[in-house]
Amino acid sequence: MKATYLRSHRSGKGNIVFTYSVNGTAEELENFKASQGIHYREDDKSGTPLWFTVKFAGNKTDLIITSNNKVIADMSKFEQAASLSQQFDGPLGQEIARQMASDLLGLNNNVPAPQAAPAPAPQAEAEASSDDLGGL
């Protein structure tokens, strides 16, 4: 199942609650509805199932139904990024963390890949002639 971030709000207890729309196969959505039980909600306008969490999981995430019948975000890619960036000290680890976080949050989707600078056009070599040298 896939979840897409829609909005957030503060609960009555002051917690930030993130709201996601849920998409999947008919079977996945049936299992999602069953796992949510009395907490199952749909968008009033679209009828799309909604999932609520107090932990932001990115703009798009995969959802998992655990063996305890709980719906959670698949955070394995974030955990892999954290582990990989921690393996390297200094600038390399920081760059790995920055790049992977950007990718995971979908911030690189519209950025074109860097292009190599075009090679300068060859310049015609001036041929020296006795006239060009001013009579030297």
Report the alpha-carbon distance of residue 51 to residue 21 in Å, rounded.
6
Query: Residue 108: which pLDDT band, with cuts at 50, 70 and 90?
Result: low
Buried b / exposed e along 7-31 (16+ C-beta atoms within 10 A) = eeeeeeeeeeebbbbbebeeebeeb
User: Is the separation of the CB atoms in 8 and 19 below 8 Å?
Assistant: yes
Strands 41-42 and 60-65: unpaired
Nearest of 52, 56, 22, 23 to residue 39 by alpha carbon: 52
CA atoms within 13 A on the CB side of 7: 5
The whole-number pLDDT of residue 114 equals 47
User: Is the separation of the CB atoms in 63 and 31 below 8 Å?
Assistant: no
Report the predicted TM-score, pTM, of the whole model to 2 decimal places.
Answer: 0.70
User: pLDDT tens digits, residue range 29-72?
Assistant: 999 999 999 999 999 999 999 999 999 998 999 999 999 999 99
The whole-number pLDDT of residue 113 equals 46
